[in-house]
Structures are given as structure tokens and as C-alpha cells.
Amino acid sequence: MGDLYHSQKQFDPPEEIVDESQIKTWRSHPWWLYLLIVILIATAVGIYTQENLQEAFMFIIRGIGVTVIIAIVSYLIAILLGLLTGLGRISRNVFVNNIATFYVEFLRGIPMRVLIFFIALVGVPVVVDWMNALGIPIENKDIPMEARAVIALSVTYGAFLAEIFRAGIQSIGRGQMEAARSLGMSFGKAMRYVILPQAVRNVLPALGNDFVAMVKDSSLVSLLAVGDITYMAKVYSGSTFRFREAYTILSLSYLTMTVVLSRIMNRIEKRMRTDGR
Amino acid sequence: MADNIIEIKDLYRYFGKVKALDGVSLNVKRGSVVVVIGPSGSGKSTMLRCINHLEVPTSGEVWIDGVCLESKHEKLDNIRADIGMVFQLFNLFPHLTALENITMAQKAVRKRSEAEAREIALQKLERVGILEKADVYPDNLSGGQQQRVAIARALAMDPKIMLFDEPTSALDPEMIKEVLDVMLDLAEEGMTMVVVTHEMSFARAAADEIIFMDEGKIVEQTTPDGLFNNPQHERTKLFLSQILD
Ligand SMILES: Nc1ncnc2c1ncn2[C@@H]1O[C@H](COP(=O)(O)OP(=O)(O)O)[C@@H](O)[C@H]1O
Ligand SMILES: [Mg+2]
């Protein structure tokens, strides 16, 4: 008996529990990412060594500031609009609720490039007319296309984000609101301190996705002759007829931005998941 | 008037065709403990939730300490702050630590400073016996600990009344006692309590009155002795035989 016990102990060393997802096999490597990086490096080398590519790059990259600023500013405004509209969508106030729903449904029913024109060339002038009627002296030419581009993108994305926020708020159990109200918190305080912090945490991945999408959709502002990288590529290729160089540079510029952003989002998401809150 | 801290007058609450409350009247004396029993769906929760207007009655009146909740002038938030509520599923705020759960409404509603709210929160946590869990998030607490934090959270608002809606029915048996002990302490100190529970040990030990509800009505209103030794109604007897086996 004693021997058996000993021999068992010897032959059964305490095994470590191995999480298979942690083992790096050749299968689990992100090969697609390596391929992407190789392509980007090859292009970088090309830009360094080939004059045509270099010229295209130097021309197009002048629009990068506009692209980045328009994407960020529009997104910040869209978050604000989306949050307010999302709250409006769950409001029991019939008027507020219908205004919010009208906004979301109106924008969802129109293709984005049409919307960009509509908001910049119809929406803005109409609002200017109203302001004039109210005695506020403002002219259409006071509002540059860059500003209209930001307005158009934020209003469009505000409608998307509204649905994300609405879903996020509705995903929080009813008991949370009830507990907050039972402590004497007003609806607004309960939203601010109890519901929204949890809802925003839940929708952070979706918000990250939409920011990446916004970076790509910011190329639509070139339709308004705003000098982002897409517009610069159009101008460059139009005058030099070097379409191949221009659109290679342009595509890979967007790709670089979106891949880097997605990776950052992934990181943040993962960290939040391991933090547990 | 001053004697009854809660007066419920002819309360009705319909959900579509369902009569959750079908003419309920009840007075609760200051400092007394009222235990509410009855089969599932009999309107116990609805009545409790009408007391702080988490549920708005279809008709009837609720008076708290001489103030009618249905009168448009009364600020419900202020009245609710004076009425603590403990839920079956705890409803702690998962994004906040135990301590933060307790300080938040103190700061937002009672306008207490961070330091003051914190001191009161620690005091309440000590009272419910889990001071060492102050910085732990609800997900990392057992059910019994969560419910005690929930009680501490309600107590930190200095309530005049505490409402409990089946506070132990979501708990594993070994945790029920730790929560009931806290509630017994509270009852002993003279807190006005309305408790929906089927823990007859609590009812026996603490209840001044027991109410048996069925189909949205109060069928029987009596003392623990009266209920266990001399139930008046057939439905009460049937129900007791079901829960006391
Ligand atoms: N929000 C609601 N919507 C529809 N019906 C409800 C709602 N709340 C309660 N009820 C109904 O009202 C009746 C009483 O419910 P409740 O007060 O929760 O009973 P109890 O707490 O005694 O189990 C039940 O028939 C229940 O289905
Ligand atoms: Mg119930």
C-alpha cells in the first residue's frame, strides 16, 4: 500500500494547467498582419528610392493634418450629439423622443455621400437663412467648407452613435436605475453616476470601431474640395496622370492609420477586460 | 397622524388587465416591523414599490410621515431619500467599490463631503460586519456580503423607513443568517421596517404585525402569534402549510 502510494506520487507530478490559447504555435501568429507590415515597409522603401512615388507621397501627405483633425473633431462632436440623441431615444417625453427618432431615421435613410452634400449645401444654407430671419447677421461664405465638412460628418455619425449609446443604456438592468432612484437620486443623477458609466464601458469597443470607420469616411469630405489626403490624391493624379502612384500612396495611408488604430483599440479593450471593470 | 409613518389608502395598481393591487389599505406605526407574506404574484412587491413610488399606483394614496406622495407639489426624490430599499438581487452598482456604493448617494443627494460620506460609509460597513471589504467590487463579494453592503448603502442615507423585498431569497442557505442578523439588529433599534419575506424565523422574532396578501388584497392582518397559532382564513392556512413544511 505504502509503495503504491509513493510510486503514484512519483509518476504524477503536479501538472500545470496549460491554457492552450496562450501557446504560440505557427497557427496562432497574425500572419496577415506581418504581410501588411511587409507591404507597408516595401512601400516605404519605394517612396525612399523612387522619385515618382516620393513626389506623390510628399504631395498627398500635406493633407494628413486635415484628415486627422477633421476625423477627431467630428468624432468628438458626434459623441456629444450621439449621447444626447441616445438619451432622447429612451426618453419618455413624447416630443424629445420623436425629435431624436426623426433625426436618427432621417439620417439612416440617406447614403452618406449624398448626406455630405445635403448637409453642406442645403442644411447649412437653410440654417443660415433661419439665423438671418432671427436677426443674426451671418453669411454662407462665413462658413468655410472645412467647417461644413465637420458638421456633415458629426451630424451623420451622431445618428450612428446615438443607436450605440441607446443600446448601451438599455443593456443596463432596470434594477440599477431603481436602486439609484430609491436612494433619492433624480433621473439625471442616476443616469450620470450609475447608468452612463456602465453603459459607456460596455459600448467602448463599438465606439472604437466607429472611430476607425470615421477615419475612413472622412475621405468623403474631398467631395467638398476640402484638402484632406483623398482630395490631395485627386488633385495630384489629375495634374500628373500618375494614378497608380497617387492611389497606392492614398490607400496605404488609410490602411496604416486604421490598422494602427484598431490595434490600439484592441489593446485598450483587452486591458479593460483583464481589469474586470 | 403622527403615529402612522406610512398610510396606504385604498391602493389599486393595474398592469393592463392584471390587478396587481386590488384595494389595499394599511397603516404602519412608527418604529414597528411589518412582515408581508403571500404567494408569488400576490402583489407584495408592487405594494412595497408603491410606498416609495418606484411604482406609481393607478389610484389611491400613499402618505409618508404626513405627506401625500400623490400631491404634485411634493418632491419625490427627497421623500425617497428618506426611505431605504433593499432588493432581492441587491442591485449594487458594479462599477463602484463597496465603499463607493455607499458614499455616492450621500454626496449626490445628501450633499455630504467626501470625507464625511466616507466616514459614515465605514461606520455602516462596520455595523453590517464587512468593514474589511470596503475597497472590494461587488463582483468579488458573496451574495450575503453584497446584500449587507446594500443594507449599509440604504442606512447611510439615515432613512426613516426601510423596505425589504425578499432580501434573502436569492441567497445560498448559509448566507441567509448573516443578512437576517443585520435586519434583526435594525428592528431591535426601532427602525420602521416593511419586510417581504418568507423567513418565518425573522417574522417570529421581529414582526409586530404580519400581513398575508393574495391576489392583490390583504387577506389577513395579524400578529406572529395570531398567524401561527390561529390563522383565520383558509387561504392563509393553506399558504402556511406550504411554506412551513
Ligand atoms: N412591471 C410589470 N408589468 C406587468 N405586470 C406586472 C409588473 N409588475 C408586476 N406585475 C404583475 O403584477 C402581479 C403582482 O406582482 P408582484 O407585486 O411582483 O407580486 P409578488 O411580489 O407578490 O410576487 C403579478 O401578476 C405580476 O405579473
Ligand atoms: Mg416580489
Contact between chains at A182 and B92 (C-beta distance less than 8 A): no
Rounded to whole angstroms, the Cα distance separating B173 from B43 reads 25
Residue partners of B165: CB distance under 8 A and separation at least 6: B44, B45, B48, B49, B85, B86, B87, B88, B196
Q: What is the percentage of chain A residues whose pLDDT exceeds 70?
A: 90
Do the domain assignments include residue A55? no
Contact between chains at B94 and A198 (C-beta distance less than 8 A): yes
Residue A16, pLDDT score:
57
Give the count of alpha carbons within 13 A of B44, CB side only.
26
pTM across the whole model = 0.85
Do the domain assignments include residue A76? yes
pLDDT tier at B243, thresholds 50, 70, 90: confident
Do the domain assignments include residue A113? yes
- Residue B56 C-alpha, separation from nearest chain A C-alpha, in angstroms: 13
Find which of B77, B101, B124, B155 to mutate to test the A interface (most A CBs within 10 Å of its CB).
B77
Residue A241, pLDDT score:
94
Which residue, judged by its Cα, is nearest atom 5 of ligand 1?
B15
Q: Is B64 within 8 Å of chain A by CB? A: no
Q: Is B52 helix (H, G, I), strand (E, B) or coil?
A: coil
Dihedral through CA B77, CA B79, CA B83, CA B89, nearest 10? -30
Do the domain assignments include residue A133? yes
Q: Is B212 within 8 Å of chain A by CB? A: no
What CATH number does the domain containing A192 carry? 1.10.3720.10
Structural domain boundaries enclosing A124: 63-276
Taking contacts as CB-CB distances below 8 angstroms, the residues of chain A near B83 are: 182
Find the helix or strand (DSSP H, E) in which B36 lies: strand B33-37
Q: At what angle do helices A196-217 and A243-275 cross, to 10 degrees?
A: 170
Mean pLDDT of B18-30: 96
Residue A7, pLDDT score:
41
Which residue, judged by its Cα, is nearest atom 17 of ligand 1?
B43
Do the domain assignments include residue A19? no
| Sign of the CA dihedral with A146 first, then A151, A156, and A161 last | positive
- Residue A83 C-alpha, separation from nearest chain B C-alpha, in angstroms: 20
Which residue, judged by its Cα, is nearest atom 26 of ligand 1?
B41
Contact between chains at A198 and B137 (C-beta distance less than 8 A): no
Q: What is the pLDDT of residues B143-168, one digit of tens each?
A: 999 999 999 999 999 999 999 999 99
Which residue, judged by its Cα, is nearest atom 1 of ligand 1?
B15
Taking contacts as CB-CB distances below 8 angstroms, the residues of chain B near A182 are: 52, 54, 80, 83-85, 154
| Sign of the CA dihedral with B195 first, then B197, B200, and B201 last | negative
Mean pLDDT of B2-13: 92
So what's the ipTM on this one?
0.94
Task: Tally the domains of chain A.
Answer: 1
Q: What is the pLDDT of residues B81-121, one digit of tens each?
A: 999 999 999 999 999 999 999 999 999 999 999 999 999 99
Q: Which amino acid is at B234?
A: E
Query: Which residue has 504581410 as its cell numbers?
Result: A35
Buried b (16+ CB within 10 A) or exposed e, A184-202: bbbeebbbebbbbbbbbee
Do the domain assignments include residue A49? no
Beta-strand ranges (E) seen in chain A are: none
- Residue A13 C-alpha, separation from nearest chain B C-alpha, in angstroms: 32
Q: Locate the chain B residue with the closest alpha carbon to A199.
A: B95
Contact between chains at B78 and A186 (C-beta distance less than 8 A): no
Residue B43 alpha carbon, nearest atom of ligand 1: 17
Mean pLDDT of B16-26: 95
Confidence check: pLDDT of A93 > 60: yes
A273 or B34, which is more confident: B34
Rounded to whole angstroms, the Cα distance separating A213 from A203 reads 15
Do the domain assignments include residue A52? no
Do the domain assignments include residue A23? no
